[in-house]
Structure 1
Amino acid sequence: MQLNSLRQLTLVSFVVVLVPLAALVGYSQLTLSTIAKVTSSETEQSIDIVRKLSKMESLAFDIERLVRQFSIVKKQALVDLINESTQRFTTHQNYICQSIAEQQSCTNLTSRINWIRQVTPQVDSLLLDAQLAEFSQNLRDLTNQVNVYLDLRIQDQQNYVGSVQQNQFWFTGLLLSASILLIVFGSKAILKPIEKIEQVIGAIARQDSVLPVISNSGPKEIIVLEHQLHNLASRLTQLENLRTALLRHASHELKTPLASIKEGCSLLTEQVVGSLNEDQQEVLSLLNSSTDRLNQLIIQLLDYNLLLQQGNPKCQLIESKTLFDEFVTENSLALKQHDHKLNMKVEVQSIYADPQLYRRILDNLMSNAIAHGTKGRPITIHLYQQDNMYVLDFANRGQKIPQQQRHTLFQPFYRGEGKRNDRVIGTGLGLSIVADCARMMMGSAKIVDVDYADICIRVIIPIKEANI
């Protein structure tokens, strides 16, 4: 049966799971009813037997008394009473003897009753005493046999109840197991379309070029949601392509006139086209600084665009000393210009990371520290291992960052409120590139408080892949 909606699938799953439980409840009720009937029947029969046995004992006492009176008084009225009592005694005896298996006592009692019915006034007293003694003994034997019979019936009843309990236990276990299996199958049936949605969302998050195929069967709500996710993925791809193309074309298109402006400024600075007065030279210096600033902004845009286009990181084992030596060498001029001393403490010989991404992290952190750090104060770099993470602390002195701004600083195009040392208006991409590079390597970046600096940016990447 094909279910067309998730609601129908859920309801049917619940109903199917409840079927074994309903069968268990029905079987339990039937079993309890059977036990109740058996117990009631056995109790009634046992009570009847005990009552009749008690009446037989009472009648036996009356019969013995009447027989002895008859042997003395010899009245006919006593014979009628004896016959009536023996008749009632025989009726109770027959009921009891039909229930018990041992019939010897019943036969003996029948013989004694028959003798008593035929007793005559001339009977010998010794014979009468002997017959009445035998009659009493036979009744006691019957009482013992009835007690044994009732004990056996009680034992049989206990065995029956135990057997029913055992059957109930196994039947309950079987039905509960069936219910658990049905719950598992029902859960899988319900979660299977949800897992398909998770696969589609995961593919969109990973920016896979091909998404899972839309299901041909299943709940209609899930199929509609799959179509919507595919449309969303297509729209996101279009927007991503548009953004990438815009950044790429805008950056390259800006570079061409910027190169012409820089070339013109260079010619004017060298006074190739004529000498310049002091005011003209001042204006020209402003033009040169503006073109340098614009060129730096374009480089950052191109770097951010290149980061967006990069696929999965290509991690490898990097020698820490080589990496940081090259980094310090390439940034030594900028450090000297701003009178920064570099304090480095590298406690890890090698790290497992993408070389280009990790170098981008270092370059952008250095650029941020130089732009916002206090001139003449040291910049501290500390690389160490903590648990299963490689930790990079990049710290400097400067204006402290308020707690409420720390998270937003890692968002693209967000600029902090602090002034830059180079008076350049930044793009707000530096720390965003740091966070994105760390995220691509399954790590993270955040601002932390340390006692040796005003600002410390901590970059964490996992080392679990280092042994591959």
Structure 2
Amino acid sequence: MKRYRFPSLFTLLLVSFVLVLLPLLLALGSALYSLEKLTGYSQAAVYRSVRSTHGSRVLLEHLVAMERSAKQYLVLSDEALFDRYRASRENFVAELRGLREMVQENDLNRLLAKLEGYEFDLYTTLLDPRLEMPIKMAAADQFPYLRQLANQIWQLSIQAVGMNLEALEKQSQQSRQQTIRHLRILLPVAVLLLVFFSFLIIRPIRQLDGAIRNLGDRDFEQPISVQGPRDLEALGRRLDWLRTRLRMLEAEKQRFMRNISHELKTPLANIHEGIELLDDQVVGELTSEQAEIVQILSDNAGKLYRMIEDLIRYSQLQRLEEIIRPQKIDMKSLVEEVIDDYRVRLRANEIRLESRLASVKLNGFADLLRSMVDNLLSNAVKYSPRGSKIKVALFQKEGMMYFEVGDEGPGIPSEERKRVFDALYQGATGRKLGIEGTGLGLTIVNECAVMHHGQVEILDPPTGTGTCFRVVIPLNGDRLG
């Protein structure tokens, strides 16, 4: 079955946002529905409670007015009083029927029906012209019983309020439990979807990051493959194309460096032999001017030879990891050996060297590390004025080796700090001071650090003058960052 691929990263982000948001929206909708349902139920319960208590109280008031008007009519035989009785009764009947339509409690409904029946019997008795006045007076004595029934209705209405409150609390608890149940189901679904889509998004980005790191470490042999949205897969294919081109360019550069270096060494050796013959006066005695010219030729031939040696060493750096395997290196002993080689030069230039070396064990290549330390010390000696001081520090911290070399020379301008590690680059300060160099020393230092998955930094010296280089290399050979 063919695996589905998202057409673009934007589509994947949009789909993931919608699917992760959907359970949250469902949970929110469920909570809103429960809240709306609870609100409607509470409104109805409150309305019924208020309506029943108020209505039962109004019934009692109407009964009092009816009793007063009816008894006055029976005593005085005034038709106006009977009309007042009937008006109060109409209000009583309307209120009673409204309560019966609204009330849901069976006990309360039975009392209302009972009150309605007794009141109707009393009304028909008072209204019947065939009955004598004493009979009607005896019937009017039923009003206290009707008030008692109305009072019972009022008491039951108050009890119904409490029952409605309890039912409301129960309904609220049920709604809360239902919302919690929905959240317990939907929130884990949202989290799982979030984790799943995060993996789909992060995985190709990590693959791209690893591919770029490999290219930065000059690992051009590992094919680049990115799995994910189509646009990121296309980007991975472009990176793989770039890897192939870089591998070809690297091979061409190495071949050119080897060829040009070896091609230059052969005629240079002949030139050097010819200069030695002249210096030995094999072809005849030389004048002082001729001897001076021969010396200039010898010095420049030696300088050119050293430049070619640096070029050969630089061209071999990228292939050295394929030839030898990393070993456990005692960096303190290695740095001390290199420092001993510079004792004579330091004494001749009246330069003091202060070292603070801790015991550091490092997985790496001894020749590369020795070349790195040698070039940093050589650079510090060349740029240190007579009578100045060089500080060397070696320590480890949090799985990293730190090696620092600081001098009190003219320093490196901030605009040149990014270029000093470029091959064959010489700063303006060195040219101004007439300091000879091949422009490959710091390049070799940087290459050695990169091959150990480390980096070189230029720090601001604490005294404000001079230059301080810091090399940071993982002790176990892992990449930085």
Any idea what SS the aligned residue of 2:106 has? coil
Assess if the C-alpha contact under 8 Å between 1:214 and 1:226 holds in 2.
Answer: yes
Match of 1:201 among 202, 212, 237: 212
Match of 1:121 among 109, 129, 133: 133
Query: Which residue does the alignment assign to 1:13?
Result: 16
Match of 1:179 among 175, 190, 197: 190
Assess if the C-alpha contact under 8 Å between 2:406 and 2:466 holds in 1.
Answer: yes
Residues in 1 aligned to 2:220 and 2:7: alpha-carbon distance in whole angstroms: 30
Report matched runs for 1:45-56 at 5 Å.
45-46=48-49, 48-50=51-53, 52-56=55-59
Over residues 159-203 of structure 1, what are the superposed CA-to-partner deviations in whole Å (9 max), with x where a residue is unaligned?
Answer: 324432443354356444433433333333333333332232233
What's the CA shift for 1:105? 4.4
Decide whether aligned partners of structure 1 residues 418 and 134 sit closer, same or farther in structure 2, where only a CA change above 3 A counts. closer
Q: 2:137 matched to 1:132?
A: no
Assess if the C-alpha contact under 8 Å between 2:449 and 2:473 holds in 1.
Answer: no
Q: 2:246 matched to 1:236?
A: yes
Query: Which residue does the alignment assign to 1:251?
Result: 261
Decide whether aligned partners of structure 1 residues 439 and 200 sit closer, same or farther in structure 2, where only a CA change above 3 A counts. closer
TM-score of the two chains, using structure 1 as the length reference: 0.81
Residues in 2 aligned to 1:353 and 1:420: alpha-carbon distance in whole angstroms: 37
Report matched runs for 1:54-133 at 5 Å.
54-69=57-72, 71-73=74-76, 89=92, 92-93=95-96, 96=99, 99-102=104-107, 105-106=111-112, 109=115, 110-111=117-118, 114=121, 117-118=124-125, 120-123=132-135, 131-133=142-144
User: What letter matches 2:247 in structure 1?
Assistant: T
Query: Which residue does the alignment assign to 1:300?
Result: 310
Query: Which residue does the alignment assign to 1:316?
Result: 328
User: What letter matches 1:201 in structure 2?
Assistant: I
Over residues 274-299 of structure 1, what are the superposed CA-to-partner deviations in whole Å (9 max), with x where a residue is unaligned?
Answer: 33333332222222112111111111
Decide whether aligned partners of structure 1 residues 339 and 94 sit closer, same or farther in structure 2, where only a CA change above 3 A counts. closer
Any idea what SS the aligned residue of 1:458 has? strand
Match of 1:266 among 251, 262, 276: 276
Assess if the C-alpha contact under 8 Å between 2:359 and 2:395 holds in 1.
Answer: no
Assess if the C-alpha contact under 8 Å between 2:390 and 2:408 holds in 1.
Answer: no
Assess if the C-alpha contact under 8 Å between 2:224 and 2:237 holds in 1.
Answer: no
Residues in 2 aligned to 1:422 and 1:258: alpha-carbon distance in whole angstroms: 28
Decide whether aligned partners of structure 1 residues 112 and 290 sit closer, same or farther in structure 2, where only a CA change above 3 A counts. closer
Decide whether aligned partners of structure 1 residues 412 and 172 sit closer, same or farther in structure 2, where only a CA change above 3 A counts. same
Over residues 405-461 of structure 1, what are the superposed CA-to-partner deviations in whole Å (9 max), with x where a residue is unaligned?
Answer: 34432332211234589967422111222233234442424254254x963433333
User: What letter matches 2:14 in structure 1?
Assistant: L
Q: Please list every run of 5 or more consecutive structure 1 residues that lacks an aligned counterpart in the other structure.
A: none
Of residues 377-386 and 187-196 in structure 1, the stretch that sits farther from structure 2 once superposed is 377-386
RMSD: 3.9
What's the CA shift for 1:238? 1.0
Query: Which residue does the alignment assign to 2:129?
Result: none
Any idea what SS the aligned residue of 1:410 has? coil
Decide whether aligned partners of structure 1 residues 75 and 204 sit closer, same or farther in structure 2, where only a CA change above 3 A counts. same
User: What letter matches 1:307 in structure 2?
Assistant: L
Match of 2:300 among 280, 290, 307: 290
The share of aligned pairs that are identical, in percent, is: 24
What's the CA shift for 1:235? 0.7
Length, aligned pairs only:
460
Match of 2:358 among 343, 348, 351: 348
Decide whether aligned partners of structure 1 residues 367 and 52 sit closer, same or farther in structure 2, where only a CA change above 3 A counts. closer
User: What letter matches 1:18 in structure 2?
Assistant: L
Residues in 2 aligned to 1:332 and 1:310: alpha-carbon distance in whole angstroms: 29
User: What letter matches 1:141 in structure 2?
Assistant: Q
Decide whether aligned partners of structure 1 residues 261 and 197 sit closer, same or farther in structure 2, where only a CA change above 3 A counts. same
Q: Please list every run of 5 or more consecutive structure 2 residues that lacks an aligned counterpart in the other structure.
A: 127-131
Match of 1:220 among 223, 226, 230: 230
Q: 2:442 matched to 1:431?
A: yes
What's the CA shift for 1:37? 4.1
Any idea what SS the aligned residue of 1:57 has? helix
Query: Which residue does the alignment assign to 1:4?
Result: 7
